[in-house]
Chain A
Amino acid sequence: MSTDRTSSRAKRLTRRQFMVMGAAGASALALGGYSSGAFGQTTEQSTSYRGRKILIAKRNGRPELYVDGEHVITVHNNGSYRAATYAFDWNSSLEVLAKRMIDNEVALSAPGFLVRGR
């Protein structure tokens, strides 16, 4: 009986425990992905694509994506980069992710549809 209860308690993970594990993993993977990514070791890089400005800047030790000055919420987990508004296309880098989002917006004829959210 006590063994069962102990086992059950051991299996339970709180949201806080999950969040801590997630944050640690996300930081480690994001930094790793950035260092080995298209923009190498630099802390800020920008490029133009189809008339849009892509900026990848390291903020608080983590790479963040901006398109035309708009911050894009992104994650690097499970081996790929994704954006909050573009979650079901897995990409190898933030730059590739940004370009695919821009391609989608061009197809929509709706600049900002994904990047700005409208």
Chain B
Amino acid sequence: MGVRKNQATLTVEEKAAFVAAIKALKADGTYDHHVQEHRDGILSFNPDVAHGGPAFYPWHRECLRRFELQLQAVDPTVTIPYWDPTVDNSPSSSLWASDFMGGNGEGSTYEVMTGPFAYSTGTWTLNVTDNRRQPPYLRRAFGVKVATLPSATTLNSTLNRVPYDASPWNTQTSTTQSFRKSSETSVHNRVHNWVGGTMQGASSPNDPVFWLLHCVLDRHWARWQKMHPTEPYLPESGGPVGHNLNDPMWPWSSEVSPPTPASVLDHRALGYEYDDEATWT
């Protein structure tokens, strides 16, 4: 059972191993394949298979688990760490140090100039971009689009929302009637937009912090499931294609046993757990 840890607790060696495994997947093209799938999920389908609907959490859980298994093929000790933006909520957090994710963008282009994912390293060229005019380097603009990261109060408020989701099962769903909608907007969207730059676009997995954000969101869903054990995944049927309980999820839908929201409801059954699960109430 792999244990996903808070990034703030990682040792120097653990950070280096995570970065090295990511770079190995970047070098062999695996990483860019994930970027392309995420971009296509947003731009090529109606409904978006991964955002703005009930499958938001299941789709990203499957995506992260596949990515994590690929990282582990490079280095079996690696798991995806999570970033708690309600605690590590400053540009000076160790997350953004030059031995891990690197820092904010600089100058008028907002190019990330520090850390292992700076373009100048020669190992982090963006090959899948949102349009043909985008530059090949990683960009960040902390706090410009939204000034602050979500607070603990906001996070806890979303954890108390039930049911899981509600009609019309999309971006128009009432925030007060849906855990998925409230957390997707007030946590997920907010963090993407706080980081800014590359993270604001459909090809946002180009920024490796994408994985740390979605790892904490996956943990968030697991916590919600534990808090509300009688609340089922919704909808079972009648929702957008790809978002119902037993719908195959693209881009894995042509596999012999394609993943569905139902098949990823239990994260421990997928082979991983979180470092603080014993404290969840």
Closest to B169 in A: A78
Contact B171 A87 (CB under 8 A): no
Among B43, B196, B251, B257, max chain A CB count under 10 A is at: B43
- Given the known interface contacts A14-B254, A79-B172, the answer about A87 and B134 at a Cβ–Cβ threshold of 8 Å is no
Given contacts A11-B248, A15-B251, A87-B202, contact A117 B52 (CB under 8 A): no
Contact B134–A118 (Cβ < 8 Å) = yes
B 189-215 contacts with A by CB, 8 A = 189, 192-193, 196, 200-204
Tell whether A90 pairs with B171 under 8 Å between CB atoms, given A18-B250, A75-B48: yes
Instruction: Give the size of the chain A interface in residues (CB under 8 angstroms).
Output: 39
Q: Does A66 contact B (CB under 8 A)?
A: no
| 97-136 of chain B: CB within 8 A of chain A | 108-110, 129-135
> Contacting B131 at CB < 8 Å: which of A19, A77, A85?
A85
- List of B residues within 8 angstroms of A15 by Cβ: 250-251, 253-254
C-alpha spacing A110/B144, complex, angstroms: 11
In the complex with contacts A78-B48, A79-B168, A117-B129, A87-B108 CB distance below 8 A: no
With contacts A18-B250, A75-B48 known, is A84 near B131, CB below 8 A?
A: yes
Chain B residues within 8 Å of A110, by CB:
108-110
B240 at the interface (CB under 8 A from A): yes
**Residues of A contacting B202 in the complex (Cβ-Cβ under 8 angstroms):** 84-85, 87
Q: A22–B141 contact, CB under 8 A?
A: no
Do A77 and B254 have beta carbons less than 8 Å apart?
Answer: no
Q: B58: shortest Cβ distance to chain A, in Å? A: 15
> Would you call B44 an interface residue if the criterion is a C-beta within 8 Å of the partner chain's C-beta atoms?
yes
Cβ-defined contact, B241 with A73, below 8 A: no
Number of interface residues of B (CB under 8 A): 54
- The CA-CA distance from A73 to B49 in the complex, in Å, is 18
Known: A12-B254, A107-B145, A116-B133. A80 touches B193 (CB 8 A): no
A-contact bits for B43-79, CB 8 A (1 contact / 0 none): 1111111011100000000000000000000000000
Contact of A79 among B144, B171, B185, B204 (CB under 8 A): B171
CA of A75 to CA of B201 in the docked complex: distance in angstroms? Answer: 12
A25-B47, A79-B170 given; A86·B248 CB < 8 A: no
Considering only residues 242-281 of chain B, those with a C-beta below 8 Å from chain A are 242, 246, 248, 250-251, 253-258, 260
Q: Check: B26 CB closer than 8 A to any chain A CB.
A: no
Q: How far, in Å, is A72 (CB) from chain B's closest CB? A: 8
Cα separation A79 to B51 with both chains bound (whole Å):
11
Chain A residues 73-108 with CB under 8 Å of chain B are: 73, 75-80, 82, 84-90, 104, 107-108
A108–B142 alpha-carbon span in the complex (Å):
10
User: Quick one: which of A77, A86, A87, A88 contacts B46, CB cutoff 8 A?
Assistant: A77
Q: Which residues of A contact B51 (CB under 8 A)?
A: 78, 87-88
Chain B residues close to A by CB (< 8 Å): 39, 42-49, 51-53, 108-110, 129-135, 141, 144-145, 168, 170-172, 185, 188-189, 192-193, 196, 200-204, 240-242, 246, 248, 250-251, 253-258, 260
A residues whose Cβ falls under 8 Å from a Cβ of B: 8, 11-15, 18-19, 21-23, 25-26, 29, 73, 75-80, 82, 84-90, 104, 107-110, 113-114, 116-118
A–B Cβ pairs within 8 angstroms, 6 of them: A15-B251, A77-B46, A80-B171, A85-B134, A90-B189, A118-B109
